[in-house]
Structure 1
Amino acid sequence: MSMFSLAGKTAIITGAASGIGRASAILFAQAGASVLACDRDAAVEKTAETIAAGGGKAHAFTMDAGSEADVKAAVAEAVAAFGRLDIAFANAGITGGLPEFFETTAETWADVLRVNLIGPFLAIKHAAPEIMKSSGGSIICTASVAGLRYGAGPVAYSASKAGVINLVQNACQSLVGTNVRVNAICPGLTETGMTKPLYDQVRAVGKEDRIGQLNPLQRGGEPEEIAAMALFLASPASSYVNGQAIPVDGGLSTSHPVSTATQKATKMALDALKDD
């Protein structure tokens, strides 16, 4: 059996109507998992239909990832539908818009923290006991490179994702001896429903080549690339990985963001070395 196989496993994935969540739900199902695809957007039904059309097992579940009642209901639904729970991917998130620091309202803070940070806490709190009944498994949370340092997102979003990184560290220590692993993924700029307005704006002015220019690969990410890391963390292949926050960002987090002018100067220096 492949180290990346999820055969016989059940997974809950939030934010599964689009982007990283949808790509992960499809990939997990292809790896053999039964998937409860969750989202507050009714389009999550299409994710489940796509999985079923490909021969996989999935149910759609409409929920608010920041509501404790909804999270408890999702866990119960997964167990009722598939008989067990092995994996929870707390992926749902919102940006709260792109306001400047002093324009960010307390209401925006409350909404962003409720979905982005309280949501993953609730997923861990209610999924972990069921996963323990299955002799262990994996919980994955979507953080962000914005949670690692300044410069990759608005203030409330960035702070919420920094909280997710600390949350998984606390959770892994709170689950000592249970064989339940908790890790976070820190995506860089990735084309999803959440980032669509940014991508649309850049494309509208003919500057698509600027997307992702600050990372060494000089491009944005695709949802499937983040889903591949989620599959690794969900699978036996990552059996000794616990309490970690893993960037998937084209190399952006290896350095602070730099200007295009700095990159051009670096490229000129490299070109000069090649000429020598």
Structure 2
Amino acid sequence: MGALEGKVAIITGAGSGIGRASAKRFAAEGAKLVIGDKTEAVFETAKMVEEAGGTVTALQIDAGVEADVAKLVATATSTYGGVDVAFANAGIIGDMGGIFEIDPAAMAETFRVNVIGPALMVKHAGKAMVDQGRGGSIVLTASVAGLNSGAGPLTYSASKAGVINLAKTSAQQLTTSGVRVNAICPGLTETGMTKPTFDYARSKDVMHKVGQLNPLKRAAQPEELANVALFLASDQASYVNGQAIAVDGGLTSSHPVTRQLLGQTAH
């Protein structure tokens, strides 16, 4: 049996990147899926899942609009009989300006998608899970940018810090329900959001520099994040709750240092 056999999972941001990789992985582990994305690419993901033998319903939605999030949860309940896993993965990079260039409207839009969206998923999927009385798992996509400065623009980083705190406070507010809430904090990962970075590196033949700041000296692939999301979604993580787990090749394991090469000693 797969890790999610017999379970129903909702995934947002499923049109590409981590969301698409997670949809394929969750389905392969036995979950019935309701997936959403703002773009039509969500239907391409659904086709991939179906061709691999999975069960899926795809909806084109805005993850920061309450009616759309409620629709995802209602669809899971009416089509598959409930919801056991909710992966609030949708997000945007948003405003790229610094502290003196803050645009309140652009900042609000970033927070609408990146913070309010996951909060709405906790609200609606969490309520459905509580009403069902069989517990569940909610996973939120944050970022290493929400842990420390230097991994993303100001507004994006602040929004992802909000997601991390949302996971912690939600886990506390769902005490005794059996519903767990955790966040994953990806490091640099090759997704649609980071495509310009990777395209530039390839065009300049400097891919060897991508991810060079972490001990593994590389970026992540979406499937590597999907594996962690799967763990948190599954019963294997039954005692993991209210945590923000960095999946970053070791980037956040250290303060800035002058690195010593393996095998060398200081003199």
TM-score category (smaller protein) = over 0.9
Q: What is the aligned partner in structure 2 of residue 70 from structure 1? A: 68
Q: Give the structure-1-normalised TM-score.
A: 0.93
What letter corresponds to residue 101 of structure 1 in structure 2?
Answer: I
Residue 95 of structure 2 contacts residue 103 of structure 2 at CA under 8 Å; is this kept in 1?
A: no
> SS in structure 1 opposite 2:241?
coil
Name the CA distance, whole Å, in 2 between partners of 1:230 and 1:110. 27
Where does structure 2 lack aligned partners over 5 or more consecutive residues? none
CA drift at 1:134 = 5.0
Q: Deviations over 1:222-259 (max 9, x none)?
A: 0000000000000010000000000000000112355x
Residue 20 of structure 1 contacts residue 223 of structure 1 at CA under 8 Å; is this kept in 2?
A: yes
Q: What is the aligned partner in structure 2 of residue 199 from structure 1? A: 198
Deviates more, 1:104-113 or 1:27-36: 104-113
> SS in structure 1 opposite 2:68?
helix
Q: What is the aligned partner in structure 2 of residue 118 from structure 1? A: 116
Name the CA distance, whole Å, in 1 between partners of 2:71 and 2:23. 19
CA drift at 1:130 = 1.1
What letter corresponds to residue 136 of structure 1 in structure 2?
Answer: G
Residue 31 of structure 2 contacts residue 55 of structure 2 at CA under 8 Å; is this kept in 1?
A: yes
Alignment of 1:24-43 (within 5 A): 24-43=22-41
Q: Give the structure-2-normalised TM-score.
A: 0.96
What letter corresponds to residue 8 of structure 1 in structure 2?
Answer: G
Q: Deviations over 1:73-131 (max 9, x none)?
A: 11111111111110000000001153333223112211110000000000000001211
What letter corresponds to residue 218 of structure 2 in structure 1?
Answer: R
Residue 100 of structure 1 contacts residue 154 of structure 1 at CA under 8 Å; is this kept in 2?
A: yes
Deviates more, 1:132-141 or 1:91-100: 91-100
Where does structure 1 lack aligned partners over 5 or more consecutive residues? none
Q: What is the aligned partner in structure 1 of residue 138 from structure 2? A: 139
Q: Which runs of 4+ in 1 moved over 6 A?
A: none
Q: What is the aligned partner in structure 1 of residue 6 from structure 2? A: 8
Residue 95 of structure 2 contacts residue 107 of structure 2 at CA under 8 Å; is this kept in 1?
A: no
Name the CA distance, whole Å, in 2 between partners of 1:90 and 1:272. 44
What letter corresponds to residue 272 of structure 1 in structure 2?
Answer: Q
What letter corresponds to residue 210 of structure 1 in structure 2?
Answer: K
Q: What is the aligned partner in structure 1 of residue 106 from structure 2? A: 108
Name the CA distance, whole Å, in 2 between partners of 1:222 and 1:147. 20
Residue 14 of structure 1 contacts residue 38 of structure 1 at CA under 8 Å; is this kept in 2?
A: yes
Aligned residues: 266
Residue 95 of structure 2 contacts residue 110 of structure 2 at CA under 8 Å; is this kept in 1?
A: no
Name the CA distance, whole Å, in 2 between partners of 1:111 and 1:257. 32
> SS in structure 2 opposite 1:246?
strand
> SS in structure 1 opposite 2:264?
helix
> SS in structure 1 opposite 2:62?
coil
